[in-house]
Structure formats: structure tokens, C-alpha cells
Amino acid sequence: MSTRFVVNFDFRIKNEDIQLSQIIEHFSFIMAKINDLFQVEKDWYETGYSRKQALNQMAFHNGHITDKTRLKWERRYKKNMPMFVDSVWDANDDEHSCGISYRKMFYDEKNRVSVELSLAMDNEENLSHRFVLFVSYLALSFNCSYINVDSNGYNVLGRNVFPDRLAVGWMLYIPHIALNGSIPEAARVVPVIKENKQIGIIIVSTKEIFDGKNKDHIGKANDIEIKLLDLGLLPLMTEL
């Protein structure tokens, strides 16, 4: 049995526009961490209007962008500056496919990126531990205002408590520090440490794999959201 997880995060590059070389590095890094999460080496393809069309162009092989995709992205980057939006997928079947969507939008700051990952994974016993490591690597490598791990429409279908604020889902990273024991509703609160300094926390709502349609899981995530708001740790989406 597999579950489709949606991971959303955004980040900023300080005081500069994001160059195409950096965008390619971001894709390569995310792909490497997805490989670690799945414990398999994936190749990635450009998206298209059909599966057949999409399979015609490999975008990244062994973590490196192909010459054809690089040329295409160079033209698009120059034409649409400061906006850059693109997606890749791993060419798996519908039930097991994964995708990366990268959005550097013209109406946001020129140095801000939003990323959405769609990851279909088998429900393995150690999946929670692997996901915590995955979220930690993202938080340590990007200047993220949040990282959210969700499943079965918890957030997109509005099952979170506050529609205008961050949703907890299965996991939520925030760049804040909470006192030990201040979020007893959570299954785990994992500190994220960088260069011997804590930069944030990962809040895990359930020990078992989170199901956004399960009433008990929804209730646990809702309780954590209420507590985080009480602690001043659940910002409005407009404040990110």
C-alpha cells in the first residue's frame, strides 16, 4: 500500500536575484534528497501534454541536467525574468509517480521560491524517521519560512483549523524554538540544529503514517495547530 505525500516549502536567497545556475543546483539538491528518502536513484523528465510526449525528454540524469533541458531553461529564464516556473517528474505510473514543481514568481520578491513535491511512497515502518531526516536536510540547506508534509488532502481540502494560517498535517517545520514539553499534543518535536545552534523545530503530529482523511489524525493535527497559535508559532500565510 502506498500513500501520496505533498511537501510544500518556500525559501529566500538573501539580497540577490536567483540565477539559473542556482535554480539548477536547487533541483539537483532536492533530487538527491528524494533519492535518499526513497533509497533509490531516480531520473527526471520534463512534463508534457501526454505521458508519451513527457517521456521524450529526460531533464536530469544521475542528478545532472541534460544539455537539451539546460538550453530550454536558459531561453525561458532570459525571456521571463524575474519569473521562472517549471516541473519535472520521475516517469513512474500514476499510483507511484513523483514530481517537483518550482515557482519563482514575478509578483513575489525576486529572491523567493515556492516548491511543491508530490511523493508516492510505500507505507514502511521507518518512513516517519526518513521523512524527519528529509525535512531536516531541506531546513538546513534552504532559508525556509516553513516546510509542511501532508497527505490525502488535509490542507487542500480545508481540514486544518485556520484556513489563513499554516497547516500542521503530518509534519511542520518552523524556524522557531519551543520550550521542551510546550507542545504535548505532538507525537514528536524534533529540534533542527545547524552549526551547534538550533534554527527551528519539526513538529510530528502522529507516530503512525498520517492520513488526512482519518478523523483521529485530523483531530491531532487540529489540536497542535490550536496550541501553536496559542504559543504565537502559527503565522498567517501572508506573513511568510
Calculate mean pLDDT across residues 18-47. Answer: 94
Q: What is the pLDDT of residues 70-119, one digit of tens each?
A: 999 999 999 998 899 999 999 888 888 999 999 998 666 678 899 999 99
What is the arithmetic mean of pLDDT over 212-240? 96
- Answer whether residue 15 shows pLDDT above 70: no
Mean pLDDT of 177-202: 95
Q: Write down the pLDDT at residue 56.
A: 81
Rounded to 5 degrees, what are φ and ψ at 200? 175, -170
Specify the pairing of strand 171-174 against strand 144-151.
Answer: antiparallel
* Gap between the terminal Cα atoms of the chain: 35
Q: Would you state the pLDDT for residue 93?
A: 85
**pLDDT value, residue 229:** 97
